[in-house]
Structure 1
Amino acid sequence: MSLSAAGSLRLELSLVNPVLRAAAARVWRSDAGLPGRYRHYLRAMHQVIRASVPLMERAATRCETLGPDPLAPPLARYLRTHTEQERGHDDWLLTDAAASGTPPGELTAAVPPAHVAALVGAQYYWIEHGHPVALLGYIAVLEGNAPAPGLAGRLAGATGLPRTAFETVRLHADLDDGHSADLDRLLDTLPLKPAQRSLVAVSALHTVTALAELFDRIATAPHVSESAHV
């Protein structure tokens, strides 16, 4: 029996997700450098997450220009709904940064490095020159690898930073499981052609690779006061 679109994607991701989880574990290791790494994490995640709403809005708009396409209406509806669910999450990171002792302006003024542009920018390419359904692979990875329940509390204890500095970690641990289930249902109802299923998978696998690189850079970054870049 052939797998559903969601099942096939989850199977492919199960083969590479251990690499991503290992990179994340190196970021969260409990040692003297954890507070600095967490501040790097906030900067990097702000650079990534502030692109989420614009990406989804652009993908939804592209759906509306595709002409007769059975994917376009349900995909656009999902993206418009999910846009509102994700709106303002970049502001959560600014609030966490302030609670951690980092001026929010340091996050908004930082120049996004090339590896962040590679992670996010590939989605713009596929939206414009492939099909906006590619974005579902990106979303599947980001929401399928939500912070573990309890991570926020562990980080607060290990870093000595206020618990209010970890609200984004806590909230995403609570929210993203439900969002992943919504995405699986969408994937299994969309009339995807084989090439479109492949595009979603390519997008997802690229996202795993690029996100693991991002975490590795955070894990090995110098103390935040010594460098303005992750």
Structure 2
Amino acid sequence: MSPTAVAGLRLELSLVQPVLRSAAARIWRSDAGLPGRYRHYLRAMHQVIRASVPLMERAADRCELLTRDPVAPHLARYLRAHAEQERGHDDWLLTDAAAAGTAPGELTDTAPPACVAALVGAQYYWIEHSHPVALLGYIAVLEGNAPAPGLAGRLARETGLPQAAFETVRLHADLDDGHSADLDRLIGRLPLDRAQHSLVAVSALHTVTTLAELFDRIAAASTLSGSLHE
């Protein structure tokens, strides 16, 4: 895929990302339900992010079986390195939850709703039954929609929760722009064929759609008694 094709992928995403941004804005709206929505956000993001490293490791393993694929060795190296960068980020969310007054078991022991399974599970399907390059579309969306700078501070002020409850939001606002640039450079260098290019785009668009659905469910679950399964 050439740099021009990378720009094309980013253009495709820019056409649908307003839906995702609007859903995120509804989570962070300033009202009495914000602390409860934030706790739901921590639970949902833990369910998503705890799958990140296993997804990348499985995709890298699949790449190493594709011995005649020119994309596979470059992709495997990136995925192995990026898995190490992301390792332990799910533990950050457990720490934030504890600071917000939520027991870690409420994150780890809750069955993920169908929208989380659809978001993450599609990547397992494409890795196993199509090509592991699909995962780049997923990563492009997650890291291309980092929390806004200053969001962590605003949430602390408006929820009354301690600053320590927002470390993951703050750290991802700082880290993800650099990761997104690294990903664009990788995609620009990979010799993707037409089918692989299409798969990255389909994966990215699916990720936008399902992540927006998850955000909508969090935005609607304004109390701790609400359920993302409903």
**Counterpart position of 1:203:** 203
Superposed counterparts of 1:1-230, under 5 Å: 4-224=4-224, 226-227=225-226, 229=228
TM-score by length of 2: 0.97
Structure-1 separation of matches of 2:76 and 2:228: 35
Native 8 Å contact 1:23 1:215 kept in 2? yes
TM-score by length of 1: 0.97
Q: Deviations over 1:175-227 (max 9, x none)?
A: 00000000000000000101111000000000000000000000001411x14
Q: 1:188 is paired with a residue of what secondary structure?
A: helix
Please report the RMSD computed on the Cα atoms of aligned residues, expressed in angstroms. Answer: 1.1
Native 8 Å contact 1:37 1:218 kept in 2? yes
Letter in 2 for 1:142: L
Q: 1:64 is paired with a residue of what secondary structure?
A: helix
Q: Which runs of 4+ in 1 moved over 6 A?
A: none
Structure-2 separation of matches of 1:222 and 1:18: 22
Matched positions, count = 228
What residue ranges of structure 2 are gaps of 5+ in the alignment?
none
Deviation at 1:229, TM superposition (A): 4.1
Q: Deviations over 1:150-194 (max 9, x none)?
A: 000000001000000000000000000000000000000000101
What residue ranges of structure 1 are gaps of 5+ in the alignment?
none
Structure-1 separation of matches of 2:61 and 2:179: 21
Native 8 Å contact 1:110 1:229 kept in 2? no
Native 8 Å contact 2:217 2:228 kept in 1? no
Native 8 Å contact 1:147 1:169 kept in 2? yes
Structure-2 separation of matches of 1:16 and 1:129: 26
Native 8 Å contact 2:221 2:227 kept in 1? no
